[in-house]
Structure 1
């Protein structure tokens, strides 16, 4: 058993995940409003910026994931990615121009974006070493803390954006990245919190690629997750503009939308944790895609902001599944390589950002946000079909631990 730290590690990791959640919750609902509405980027330019960042982010995430399984101290990678977040969002706040937004989102945020998965890789390895029976539980519990940030922060960020400046949300995110970096700098001061999981040894005569191979069902599942998450990105980019232009709302309403969704997510995650004991992850993730499709499709037909808020029950349930069950699903993808497997979370997210940004740029050129949402609903159905089609033997079955 590894030596115990005198630091309150669980409390620090919980605080870390809260601030990690703040970095997303303070900025993600406002990205298209800042880029398109405030800085006057064309939808095509905004989409290109997000697409470039997604491509670079994929390369960075895979590289860091592979390296993290070989480093004696993976905490350093978290610190580096957190400081990149300080720089990227600090640039947008300090110099709110089209070019600072472009440079930050296309070149610096691809590094910062890996912070989320590197945090979870460290969490998984730490608890596997110190309390293996509770490792999966702690991953889920700390993901719930991340969700709490989404409950608390978006309404506050919306108020800040409305009363002061929308660019202040990037200051909040930059300071939160600094908090994440500070927590891991404190952990690095204690040698007992340095953890490493040895990757499996390759059999003699086998290649490196063979040890990293993914079963076809897993590949289909990952592709399905990419497509379903892309539908969520289309929703994320489009809904703020849809609320403001089609439903007559304000930036405060955008914050309420994100906060209400997160508030619904938290209890749904507890329900989903129970449902994973009854049905396979593939079943639940496929169902989540259909729930998201129903929400996005119905939202595209609305003219009332009040009715939109009621529909957020569906959004919270679908989002909870796609953002919580996906973590243990992805971490089991490559046996014995937690860092590399967890980096696939970033690959899924980044590929989804790329697809979502491209779709947003193409579909919103004429300013028709309703049609964009309708297409997003179709994308969600397609992703669910890929997940289900590639894993049809596991649909409706109980979860089985992967070898």
Structure 2
């Protein structure tokens, strides 16, 4: 146990509440973003794909800057507050002024910062537990990721009901209020100085050629793992955009069905997240991620043949197993990627997410141009399988079992 001063408030409970409301911001809007953009506001698939691309490019530069600042600012919580404010403003604008212009402005310019609240919250969580209870740091990150998933279990069906009963833009009000609550939680935490985690200056490193520096920070197995995760995440983004459109078009479903689909998938993830967390003590992170990348590809392949919403819901057991690992084990994997730089390593989460969104947008613009959303899902299946194989190719010697965590 660390000798750091003990906070007077229940930090774990506050971080859990923050992760729940962070989950609400995603769970209330993500299943409906493509429906709002394409079906409600009338954007073409090409325009929506361009919007995702612009947002990704803005986010890429932003995430690199945030990763650099995160390891140097005197208080990491400032970045969480800035992201929460941006998210509240961005989704608040969409709710108050529902138009193509505002949607494009908010999603392309404001929300890249708002969406970084998720990874910045995890950066703070990791360094907080590294300081106060390092033996349980990995477990706490996994546990809080599970809390995030609880929101995905509860919120999408409720958001779907609100969208169908009132207006689909009301889901952005739910998200804006949740961003405000996340910011309020961190403001409360800042009143207790024991929750401040001072940044240690990065250890000096002797100058080296650029190629050698990259190899030292990201050896080939880690680099191939990051690339493989990015490709798998691309498939997840592509499926996340295409599946709601498949439900409301080809399968004749409703907005409520979209919420039910998202809620069931997340509910099934919960027990499997705990199971994969338990297996981390016995299996390597790479083997878990590779197996579930292939399993996710199988799920998407089977989804291309469904004929009703009910058929799709029956497949969510496979989806839950795979997504549980791909959305939880990946966090600790990426946070361990760059030795001694938790903030910079955590920024890899944003880099992977943003790169995946950019690639997924390009794939959606290409595959979805004709309105064939089964083709979109088939493309996502192929991409997921490719990502798993990329990670496998660089990690054949790392699949036997767990290794000691790299120092954070």
- TM-score over 0.5 (shorter chain): yes
Deviation readout 1:261-281 (Å, 9 max, x if unpaired):
110100001111122222211
Alignment match, 1:52? 54
- Aligned: 1:363 with 2:359: no
Residue 219 of structure 1 is aligned with which of 220, 223, 226? 223
- Aligned: 1:176 with 2:178: yes
Return the alpha-carbon distance in structure 1 between the equivalents of residues 115 and 201 of structure 2: 24
Alignment match, 1:388? 392
Alignment match, 1:310? 314
- Aligned: 1:6 with 2:8: yes
Residue 188 of structure 1 is aligned with which of 190, 213, 236? 190
Alignment match, 2:303? 299
SS at match of 1:15: helix
Q: How many residues align?
A: 403
Alignment match, 1:210? 213
Return the alpha-carbon distance in structure 2 between the equivalents of residues 255 and 27 of structure 1: 10
Residue 89 of structure 1 is aligned with which of 91, 94, 107? 91
Residue 279 of structure 1 is aligned with which of 276, 279, 283? 283
Q: Which moved more, 1:382-391 or 1:269-278?
A: 269-278
- Deviation of the 1:197 alpha carbon: 3.8
RMSD of equivalent CA atoms: 1.4
Q: Is the alpha carbon distance of 1:17 and 1:149 closer, same or farther for their aligned partners in structure 2, counting shifts above 3 Å?
A: same
Return the alpha-carbon distance in structure 2 between the equivalents of residues 196 and 341 of structure 1: 17
Return the alpha-carbon distance in structure 2 between the equivalents of residues 87 and 242 of structure 1: 30
Return the alpha-carbon distance in structure 2 between the equivalents of residues 110 and 148 of structure 1: 24
8 Å CA contact 2:290–2:391 kept in 1: the answer is yes
Alignment match, 1:147? 149
Alignment match, 1:23? 25
- Deviation of the 1:395 alpha carbon: 2.3
Alignment match, 1:247? 251
- Deviation of the 1:133 alpha carbon: 1.5
8 Å CA contact 1:30–1:240 kept in 2: the answer is yes
Return the alpha-carbon distance in structure 2 between the equivalents of residues 115 and 148 of structure 1: 18
8 Å CA contact 1:16–1:180 kept in 2: the answer is yes
Alignment match, 2:133? 131
Alignment match, 2:116? 114
Alignment match, 1:98? 100
Return the alpha-carbon distance in structure 2 between the equivalents of residues 72 and 293 of structure 1: 43
- Aligned: 1:324 with 2:328: yes
Q: Is the alpha carbon distance of 1:351 and 1:205 closer, same or farther for their aligned partners in structure 2, counting shifts above 3 Å?
A: closer
- Deviation of the 1:190 alpha carbon: 1.8
Return the alpha-carbon distance in structure 2 between the equivalents of residues 202 and 231 of structure 1: 38
8 Å CA contact 1:136–1:328 kept in 2: the answer is yes
Alignment match, 1:228? 232
Alignment match, 1:35? 37
- Deviation of the 1:200 alpha carbon: 3.8
Q: Which moved more, 1:233-242 or 1:392-401?
A: 392-401
Return the alpha-carbon distance in structure 2 between the equivalents of residues 51 and 241 of structure 1: 19
Runs of at least 5 residues in structure 2 that lack an aligned partner in the other structure: none
- Deviation of the 1:55 alpha carbon: 1.0
- Deviation of the 1:359 alpha carbon: 0.8
Alignment match, 1:75? 77
Return the alpha-carbon distance in structure 1 between the equivalents of residues 208 and 393 of structure 2: 31
8 Å CA contact 2:217–2:339 kept in 1: the answer is no
Q: Is the alpha carbon distance of 1:367 and 1:228 closer, same or farther for their aligned partners in structure 2, counting shifts above 3 Å?
A: same
Return the alpha-carbon distance in structure 1 between the equivalents of residues 56 and 67 of structure 2: 16
